Amino acid sequence: MSSLKTDFNELFERIRHGREFGHASFEPIYYLIFSPTQIVDVKRHMPAWVSKLQNEGWTVHIFSIAKNVLEILENVPIRKIWLTADGRSPTDWDRTNQALANALSNGALQARLEAKMLEIQSDKNTVLMVTDLEALHPYMRIGAIESGLQGKIKVPTVFFYPGERTGKTRLKFLGFYPEDGNYRSVHVGG
């Protein structure tokens, strides 16, 4: 198994070459795939990786899935109803998770990510790092969001993916979800 440092360096080289060659039909989507047991290690490496990119002339933007999921769920119009229902039946996790999944699968998270991409797309030296994908469990997987963004990604976008690589385009989110091969991205690591 390769190290996170080696995988990030390979990813960085791929981003750099993508920028230099400007592939006409290539969407600059990258996944850094790592074992779910390395989630904390990835968070520890993040400041150094951001600095490395900045030292090479890139502007780095971070989109935290966890932060955005929390903001969406805190501002759902029916939040008071949820809290009342949870007070009556606090261990009904299936119902709770289904309500939360419904709030996220309505496109709110994808819309936030798309808005961030639109905000930064004019700078050619920008990288968007999408972190904390584990916060999507058990509600959804990032592949659904990625496919909804097809044709809209203009700047290199790196998804930090906790899971397993099971083929050239197949990934297993968190190492236990079924394989998913619906990715149009460059995969590094895993």
Segment 7-48, tens digit of pLDDT: 999 989 988 877 444 444 567 888 888 889 999 999 999 999
Separation of first and last alpha carbons in the chain: 8
Torsion angle, CA of 64/69/71/75, rounded to 10 degrees? Answer: 160
156, two tokens: 């290199």
Mean pLDDT computed over 85-91 = 76
- Asked if residue 139 has pLDDT above 80, the reply is no
Return the ∠ at Cα 160 (arms to 155 and 165), rounded to 5°. 115
- Asked if residue 106 has pLDDT above 60, the reply is yes
Mean pLDDT computed over 135-161 = 82
What's the gap between Cα 126 and its chain centre? Answer: 16
Q: Which CATH architecture has domain 4-189?
A: 3-Layer(aba) Sandwich (3.40)
The pTM (predicted TM-score) of the whole model is: 0.84
Q: Where are the domains of the chain?
A: 4-189
CA distance 189 to 7: 5
190, two tokens: 């895993």
- Asked if residue 178 has pLDDT above 70, the reply is no
- Asked if residue 65 has pLDDT above 70, the reply is yes
What's the gap between Cα 135 and its chain centre? Answer: 9
